[in-house]
């Protein structure tokens, strides 16, 4: 009960207060002896993977709640947190990570359930997918599970290293790939090199998925920026002008960046008119600079008018 309640609270964090997208959930299934191998970005990654793969089905099938190897210095540093970690099906891993007791415990529980594991062994500092360690490969060779590569992107923004409270209104993406085929490696001796070869194959699949998530993220951000920019552009392009005869009707103008490139003027020699937004704010007192060629053209017209006026005066005097 404690597990389901706390997991539901975390579901609100990921899927309500943040925008989480899940890709390829059907690849996971509900079979026992399933190992979810993922890249690592934050302390909450194991909960995110479990929720994205099995929630809310895990309410009715508690065996689908994944086992999670957890670093002792993070999840077992006080009695309350240790009690919660035990209810979250965490497996105590001592600091330093080379814990054979924890590996034996994983070999015992994995054939009867599901497990989330991070082959990198630590959180990424820059968000990139690092190399995997052979410990997870030894677990695979010992239990022969279904290995599902999982890629996470966006969790560094939700819970960066050094923070304990998650941020909200961020974008998160989780991708579940097809099961990795490693049957050709089972015939090889069960050595550290073989285990490393298994993990390298899984990490290659995770990197491909992670790169795809990054590409989709950049595309979505560009689409949103383009839509917002287009809306601002349309707002700036429709303007109303105050002329000596009163406000004109809204009209479309050519715009570029934040500047309006077309400034109509009144009769030559009168004060230049200023644009007014559709909001109706009167900006007649705001001076609008005109392009240099317009100023030169106005000076020529005014000079011509002055010459014509002086000529008429001389003619009248004569």
Question: Model pTM greater than 0.85?
Answer: no
Per-residue pLDDT 10s for the chain (318 aa) are: 778 888 899 999 999 999 999 999 999 999 999 999 999 999 999 999 999 999 999 998 989 999 999 888 888 888 999 999 998 999 998 876 578 889 999 999 999 999 999 999 889 988 899 999 999 999 999 999 999 999 999 999 999 988 889 999 999 999 999 999 999 999 999 999 999 999 999 999 999 999 999 999 888 878 877 777 766 655 555 544 444 455 555 554 444 333 333 334 444 444 444 444 444 544 444 444 455 555 666 677 777 777 776 665 555 555
- Residue 10 is predicted with a pLDDT of 93
Cβ partners under 8 Å of residue 116, min gap 6: 36, 38, 45, 46, 49, 50, 66, 67, 68, 150
- Residue 97 is predicted with a pLDDT of 58
- Residue 134 is predicted with a pLDDT of 92
Q: Indicate the class that CATH gives domain 2-227.
A: alpha beta
- Residue 279 is predicted with a pLDDT of 45
- Residue 313 is predicted with a pLDDT of 56
- Residue 306 is predicted with a pLDDT of 75
Residue ranges per domain, the chain?
A: 2-227, 244-317
């Amino acid at each position: 009960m404690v597990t389901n309640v706390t997991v539901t609270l975390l579901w609100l964090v990921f899927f309500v207060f943040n925008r989480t997208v899940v890709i390829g959930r059907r690849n996971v299934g509900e079979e026992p002896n399933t190992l979810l191998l993922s890249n690592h970005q934050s302390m909450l990654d194991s909960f995110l993977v479990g929720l994205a793969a099995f929630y809310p089905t895990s309410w009715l099938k508690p065996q689908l709640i994944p086992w999670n190897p957890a670093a002792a210095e993070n999840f077992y540093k006080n009695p309350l947190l240790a009690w919660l970690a035990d209810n979250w099906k965490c497996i105590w891993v001592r600091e330093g990570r080379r814990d054979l007791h924890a590996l034996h415990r994983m070999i015992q529980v994995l054939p009867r359930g599901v497990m989330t594991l991070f082959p990198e062994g630590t959180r990424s500092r820059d968000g990139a997918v690092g190399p995997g360690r052979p410990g997870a490969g030894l677990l695979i060779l010992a239990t022969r599970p279904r290995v599902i590569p999982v890629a996470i992107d966006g969790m560094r923004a939700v819970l960066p290293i050094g923070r304990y409270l998650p941020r909200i209104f961020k974008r998160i993406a989780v991708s579940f790939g097809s099961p990795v085929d490693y049957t050709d490696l089972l015939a090889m001796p069960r050595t550290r090199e073989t285990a490393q070869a298994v993990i390298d194959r899984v990490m290659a699949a995770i990197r491909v998925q992670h790169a795809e998530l990054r590409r989709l993220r950049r595309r979505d951000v560009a689409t949103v920026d383009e839509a917002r920019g287009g809306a601002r552009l349309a707002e700036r392009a429709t303007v109303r002008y105050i002329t000596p005869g009163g406000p004109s009707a809204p009209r479309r103008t050519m715009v570029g960046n934040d500047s309006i490139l077309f400034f109509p003027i009144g009769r030559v020699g009168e004060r230049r008119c200023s644009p007014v937004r559709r909001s109706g704010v009167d900006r007649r007192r705001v001076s609008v600079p005109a392009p240099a060629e317009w100023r030169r053209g106005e000076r020529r017209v005014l000079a011509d008018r002055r010459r014509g006026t002086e000529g008429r005066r001389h003619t009248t005097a004569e």
